[in-house]
Amino acid sequence: MATYSGLEKRKYPRANGRFIVSYRILENDTTTDITQTKNLCLGGMLLTTNCKFPIGTILGLEIRLPFDPNPIKLISRVLESREITKDIIYDTRLIFLSVDEKHHKVINETVSYYLKKG
């Protein structure tokens, strides 16, 4: 994968980390799938999915992070879903639509820890 050398546009630092995530399309799909993150920040995450999602798809997420024994439930919107392996693996970039104060703190602690860990 090529390294981006342009101007950084992200609002929050992104930490690489593998965290278990279950996700489902909110509108009319009760099927849940499980995957893992590639990276995480206060504003969103990159995860691996087994299908390509249209930009704007709203996903319900449950993510397990090391600083909270309970899964964190979030709503996100797909910003990009890019094929990595033909018809099998996609990198799907998400933005969180809202994060309450408690979960904001847990995500921040997790990101800070993994950024220091390097």
Class of CATH domain 15-117? mainly beta
Higher pLDDT, 33 or 98: 33
Taking CB atoms within 8 Å and a gap of at least 24, the contacts of 50-53 are 50/88, 50/89, 50/90, 51/90, 52/81, 52/82, 52/83, 52/90, 52/92, 53/25, 53/78, 53/81, 53/90, 53/92
Query: DSSP assignment of 14-80, as one string?
Result: -EE---EEEEEETTT----EEEEEEEE-SSEEEEEESSPPPTT-EEEEEE--TT-SSPEEEEEEEEE
Q: How far apart are CA 79 and CA 91, in angstroms?
A: 11
Question: What confidence tens digit (pLDDT) does each residue in 31-84 have?
Answer: 899 999 999 999 999 999 999 999 999 999 999 999 899 999 999 999 999 999
Q: How far apart are CA 91 and CA 47, in angstroms?
A: 6
Q: How far apart are CA 32 and CA 107, in angstroms?
A: 22
Q: What is the pTM of this model?
A: 0.86
pLDDT value for 111? 95
Length of the chain: 118
- Give me the amino acid identity at 38: K
Q: Enumerate the domain spans of the chain.
A: 15-117
pLDDT value for 30? 78
Question: What confidence tens digit (pLDDT) does each residue in 12-27 have?
Answer: 889 999 999 999 998 8
- Asked whether the predicted pLDDT for residue 1 surpasses 80, the reply is no
